[in-house]
Each structure stands twice: as structure tokens, then as C-alpha cells.
Amino acid sequence: MLNYLNSDLEILKIVQLEIDRQANNLELIASENFVSLAVLSAAGSVLTNKYAEGYPGKRYYGGCEFVDMAEELARERLKKLFNAEYVNVQPHSGSQANMAVYMSLLKPGDTILGLSLDHGGHLTHGSPVNFSGQIYRSVGYTLNKETKLLDYNIIEDLAKKEKPKLIVTGASAYSRDWDYKKFREIADKVGAFLMCDMAHPAGLIAKGLLNNPLEYCDVVTSTTHKTLRGPRGGVILIGKDKENPMGIKTPKGDRLKLMSEVFDSMVMPGIQGGPLMHIIMAKAVAFGEALQDSFADYSRQIIKNAKTLAKELMSLGYDVISGGTDNHLMLVDLTNKNISGKKAENTLGEAGITVNKNMIPFDTKSPFVTSGIRIGTPALTTRGMKEDEMKLIANFIDKALSNAENKEMLKSIRADVKALCKNFPLYPELSQN
Ligand SMILES: *Cc1c(COP(=O)(O)O)cnc(C)c1O
């Protein structure tokens, strides 16, 4: 594939540098992963040339018979993966999927109740710098101050007080599972729609390793590029046999048809134009991979690795928020180590370990500094790393953070990191060296 870039050496160089960066560093950013060569090839295919506004069988352009097959396959595979009745595979990103849902269900000024950004929520769950906090009135629920866990009493009290039209579940930095049944009860008490944004743990949910939001939520959104290990993109899903989806009082089948028409037309023409057919085909490839049994082994290993890493870090004196993890990520409060999230991110970066600084619940530092880091295991698990490597990595992290001013030490950790990476080759087929 890379050969074709010989016509543009400036770009070829950038791609090679990025391949080397990905191969020679420890990728612990919880929202990232490494796609298969099959996904990569589909994303780089000639389907990028095709305009296909509309949906399979109902396009505004001619010549769509083959891209229709790709989109149908993506839809069928995604439905099977989550036992969903309705899916839309066209959103260009997780944020676009959320926008399509909000604009389908809400009017400007309606209230959204979601997890506060500084407690692990996402920008699109009502942050004032995002459309979700500007078009809608947004209220954030916080975690319990002692346990740092979701506190369903806090959420219910807030819901009763604020009367949201939509309650949003799901997060970008929460290491525990969600009780969607409890959220359903709260939503029903206040007459709110219930949505889950499963962008982060979608792959783990698909394999039955975490609670399934499709059983209780009116609608579910996700990205496709995090634990699902597909191309960058978003999807919208509705579960099977919803008793009363969206509270619309018409016969069951019709309700679903109605809602899918609402969501489909909000994605296109509501907020998007032509779909990215190459990416939709790459989504189909990724969903096909996720349907295989080996993806369950992969997903189980992600969780085993996260639990091992959390345990090792705690044994080295690190304060892992809520004392561990149920999923693929953890938040580490660095207050007791006297280092900010920003400084930790930079220090680990020098040692070849990639993480992101992250607000911790009740953080006293600004979002640009923060008191914590977020660590996730999906990417390194894709490379084949297991518990033994997680123990090594916990020690690398500790050694780096304990010697943040010692450039020689960071350099020597970087060499150890590179040696470890060499044992778990990434995209050897793409390497030019
Ligand atoms: C990553 C993420 C998104 C947004 O995805 P983009 O594709 O970056 O727009 C939305 N919601 C949550 C909870 C996320 O973690």
C-alpha cells in the first residue's frame, strides 16, 4: 500500500514516522486501538470515490449497487453483534451519532442530564464548549465523593429536580460498569428518554463482558474505533423488542419503523451529506472480526490486562480511582505522588509510554493541568501483550514518574520500552525498514 506514496515523498515520510511511532511506543491511550490490515485496506479502498447520499436501495445517485452491498453488510453484522433491531452505520464520528440522536429527540433548550465532564463524561454530554451544552440546557451528575462510583440516589434526586428530557449514560473515563436498569427506572419516573453512549466499552459489551445498554435504553450510540477496533466512525442502535421505545404510543412494529425513519433522516439529510462508503465498508470488516470467537478472547484479555495493571500500580502506591476497574481503563489520581497529570503525560511520553492527562472526580486542578492520567489496555492487548507485560509496564510507569527530572533514566526506560515493543511487532507488513 505504501508503495503508492512514492509519488509524494513528503507524505510518505510522515506515514513512515507515524508507523515507527506506533510500533516503538507503548500505546496506553484508552480510546485508541490498532486496526487489522483488512480494516486498513477497506478504509483505503476505491469506495472513497463514491457519492451515495441516502440509504441502500434509496440513493440520490446512480452507480450505488456495490456500495449498497457494503452498507447492507455493515448493518447486518452490527445488528447481529449487538442483537439490535435497528442500526445506522453512517455517522462520521461518535459526536455526529450523538448529535443525530439529540436533534431527533430534543428541542433547543430542553434539558440533558449526563455524567459531568470532570467526572468522566464526554464533551457531547453537555459541555458548555460543545454544541450539546450550547443548544441544550445541560445538567451534570457527579460520582459519589467517597466511593467515586455512580450514585443512583444522587442521579435520581437530580433527575426529579431538573426534569430532563434525556438522560445520558456512558462515559470516556469511568472504570466501572453501569446499572442501566436503575437508570431506566429513574428515566421512567421523570418521563425522560434514556440513551447510552457506549463509545468506549462497545467491544466488551458486544462480547457480553459488561451489562448491555440495548436492553434498557431507548437508543444507543457508539464509536467504532475504540474497543470495537474498527475505523474512526460512529453508529446508532436500537435494541430488540423495546416495550415502549421513545414512549411513542403506536403499535410496536410501527414505533420502531417511525423511530428508525426519524434517526435515519436526521443523520442524512439532517446533519450529514454523503456517507463515507470506504469507512462504512471498513466498519463492516471490523464488525465481521468482532463477531468471531477470537474477539471474545481478545476482549477478555483487555479486561484481564487492565485489572493486572491497576493492581500492580496500586501495589506501587498509586491511587487508582474507585480501587480498580471492570473494563478496559483506569484513572490514576497522582496527588499523593506530587506530580500533575500534565507533567506525568509529558514524562511518560519521554519514556516512550503514551497516556493522556485526565481530570479526576472533584479535581482541584484545571483541565489543562489535571491531577490524574487515564490508562487503557485495548491497543497493547491487540499487540498480544498479556499480564506479564502489564507488570513490566507498571514498573516502567513508576520508574519514570519517580524520576521525572532524570533525563538519563527516562532515556534508559525508553530503550527498555523499545525492546519490549520489538517482541510484539506491529504492522511488520508495512515496515519499510
Ligand atoms: C470518544 C467518545 C465520543 C466521540 O467520538 P468521536 O468519534 O471522537 O467524535 C463520544 N462519546 C464518548 C463517551 C466517547 O468516549
Q: Letter for the amino acid at 92?
A: H
Q: Which of 323, 325, 319 is nearest to 401 (CA)?
A: 319
Q: Is 144 in the pocket of ligand 1 (CB under 6 A)?
A: no
Those residues whose C-beta lies under 8 Å from the C-beta of residue 121, and which sit 6 or more positions away, are 114, 115, 127, 140, 168, 171, 172
Q: What is the pLDDT of residues 202-229, one digit of tens each?
A: 999 999 999 999 999 999 999 999 999 9
**Proportion of the chain above pLDDT 90, given as a percent:** 92
Decide if pLDDT at 252 tops 60. no
Give the per-residue pLDDT at 250: 47
The x, y and z cell numbers of residue 41, run together, are: 485496506
| Residue 243 reports pLDDT greater than 70 | no
197 is catalytic: yes
Instruction: Parse the chain into domains and list their residue ranges.
Output: 42-290, 301-422
- Does domain 42-290 match CATH 3.10.180.10? no
Mean predicted lDDT score pLDDT of the chain: 95
Ligand 1 pocket, mutate which of 131, 197, 276, 283 (most atoms under 8 A from CB): 197
The CATH number of 301-422 is 3.90.1150.10
User: 236: which residues sit within 8 A by CB, 6+ positions away?
Assistant: 86, 87, 88, 91, 97, 100, 101, 219, 220, 221, 263, 267
Locus of grid cell 503514551: 354
HSE-CB of 132 using CA atoms within 13 angstroms: 28
**CB neighbour list of residue 351: distance below 8 Å, 6 or more residues apart:** 396, 399, 400, 410, 413, 414, 417
Q: Identify the pLDDT of residue 242.
A: 59
Q: How far apart are CA 205 and CA 197, in angstroms?
A: 12
Give the three-state DSSP class for 126. coil
Apex 277 CA angle, 123 and 205, nearest 5: 50
Which pLDDT tens digit goes with each residue over 88-128?
999 999 999 999 999 999 999 999 999 999 999 999 999 99
The C-alpha cell at 335 is 496527588
- Which strand (E) or helix (H) includes residue 58? strand 58-59
| Amino acid at the residue 68 | D
Atom from ligand 1 closest to the CA of residue 93 = 7
In 92-204, at which residue ranges do the beta strands (DSSP E only) sit?
111-115, 137-141, 166-169, 193-197
- Judged by DSSP in three states, 354 sits in strand
Q: Predicted confidence band at 323 (pLDDT cuts at 50, 70, 90)?
A: very high
pLDDT above 50 (res 248): no
| pLDDT for 167 | 98
Give the confidence band of 241 by pLDDT, cuts at 50, 70, 90. Answer: low
What is this structure's pTM? 0.96
The pLDDT, as a whole number, for residue 253 is: 59
- Looking at residue 261, what is its pLDDT? 86
20 is catalytic: no
User: In this predicted structure, what is the pLDDT of residue 204?
Assistant: 98
Question: Relative to the CA of 232, which ligand 1 atom is closest?
Answer: 7
pLDDT of residue 433: 47
Paired residues of 333 in beta bridges: 319, 372
Cα 198 to averaged position of ligand 1 atoms, centre (Å): 9
How far apart CA 373 and CA 122 sit, in angstroms, is 16
Residue-wise pLDDT tens digits, 170-190: 999 999 999 999 999 999 999
Mean pLDDT, rounded, for 48-63 = 96
Q: Report the candidate in 130, 67, 137 with the shortest Cα–Cα distance to residue 94.
A: 130
The percentage of the chain sitting over the pLDDT mark of 70, rounded to a whole number, equals: 96
Task: Evaluate whether 42-290 and 301-422 have a shared fold.
Answer: no
What pLDDT is stored for residue 3 in this prediction? 77
Predicted confidence at residue 100, as pLDDT, reads: 97
33 ligand 1 Cβ < 6 A: no
Probe ligand 1: pick from 31, 96, 112, 122, max atoms within 8 Å of CB? 122
